[in-house]
């Protein structure tokens, strides 16, 4: 299962849409900008607009790549579909009422708006790849933390800054770590899973802790196995087990 061509460019195009269309829209209404996995892609949680409308925005594959604007109010329930190919950030913003001129930050590494009139080029295969990666990561995280007998677990969310699906868990009293699924970044261009202890502890043999912030497991090492979900969950389980020892 190879990655789509030009994966880093495709990933960054989707991150730009996630930040400056979806996250901006949610933040303008609620003051929050985190996203969540959705079928075939990712989107906002349902939020309430100023006029009381329930709204959700998501991007998905449907024989192509689309932005979907779902709204529920006293007039009924509607869904509008906007193709992501050969449109632009400016056109999408106008279509759903997002103000690109307002200062907006999702963290230190917030991607720029860029050329807002440049045609978007999103490969449907890239869209489905990221949707499948978030889905696998989400289920693997659930399997790993469901067995914890104590300790707080945060809700897993997609963070536009680094475009990763992440959560943090209390693996032992006073000891927490991050678990997540990243679609890739500059140090690791391909998607990977990660375990990131909040402290300096790296228990057990050094072979597991292979990154400056903790441990990573590449997508290739997951999807090319007989049971990818089991492999992914085992990677998280291993990190939790070490940190709880």
pLDDT digits (tens, 9 = 90+) for 101-138: 999 999 999 999 999 999 998 889 999 999 999 999 99
Give how many domains the chain has, as a whole number. 2
Contact 38, 20 (CB under 8 A): no
Domain co-membership, 69 together with 53: yes
Domain co-membership, 175 together with 66: no
Residue 149: pLDDT band (50, 70, 90) is low
Domain co-membership, 144 together with 222: yes
| Segment 142-154 mean pLDDT | 83
| Segment 222-240 mean pLDDT | 95
122, 139, 172: which is the final residue of a domain? 122
| Mean pLDDT rounded to a whole number for the chain | 94
| Segment 65-85 mean pLDDT | 95
Give Cβ neighbours of residue 198 (< 8 Å, ≥ 6 apart).
168, 175, 176, 177, 178
Domain of residue 162: give its range. Answer: 127-244
| Segment 162-188 mean pLDDT | 94
The Cα angle at residue 91 between residues 95 and 70, in degrees rounded to 5 = 30
pLDDT for 150: 60
Question: By C-alpha distance, which of 176, 175, 194, 174 is closest to 184?
Answer: 194
pLDDT for 121: 87
Task: Please check the confidence at residue 2 and state whether its pLDDT lies above 90.
Answer: no
Domain co-membership, 59 together with 97: yes
Domain co-membership, 11 together with 101: yes
Residue 213: pLDDT band (50, 70, 90) is very high
Contact 162, 41 (CB under 8 A): no
Domain co-membership, 141 together with 71: no
Residue 146: pLDDT band (50, 70, 90) is confident
């Amino acid at each position: 299962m190879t990655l789509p061509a030009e994966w880093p460019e495709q990933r960054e195009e989707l991150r730009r849409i996630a930040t400056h269309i979806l996250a901006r829209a949610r933040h303008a209404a609620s003051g929050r900008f985190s996203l969540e996995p959705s079928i075939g892609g990712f989107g906002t949680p349902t939020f309430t607009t100023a006029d009381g409308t329930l709204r959700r925005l998501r991007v998905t594959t449907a024989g192509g790549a689309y932005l979907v604007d779902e709204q529920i109010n006293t007039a009924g329930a509607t869904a509008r579909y906007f193709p992501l190919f050969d449109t632009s950030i400016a056109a999408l913003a106008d279509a759903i009422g997002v103000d690109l001129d307002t200062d907006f930050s999702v963290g230190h590494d917030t991607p720029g708006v860029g050329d807002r009139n440049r045609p978007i080029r999103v490969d449907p295969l890239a869209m489905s790849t990221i949707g499948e990666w978030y889905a696998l990561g989400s289920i693997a995280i659930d399997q790993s933390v469901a067995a914890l007998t104590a300790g707080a677990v945060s809700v897993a969310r997609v963070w536009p800054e680094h475009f990763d699906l992440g959560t943090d868990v209390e693996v032992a009293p006073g000891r927490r770590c991050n678990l997540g699924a990243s679609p890739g970044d500059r140090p690791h261009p391909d998607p990977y899973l990660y375990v990131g202890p909040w402290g300096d502890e790296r228990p057990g043999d050094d072979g597991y802790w292979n990154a400056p912030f903790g441990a990573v497991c590449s997508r290739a090492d997951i999807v090319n196995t007989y049971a990818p979900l089991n492999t992914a969950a085992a990677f998280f389980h291993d990190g939790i087990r070490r940190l709880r020892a």
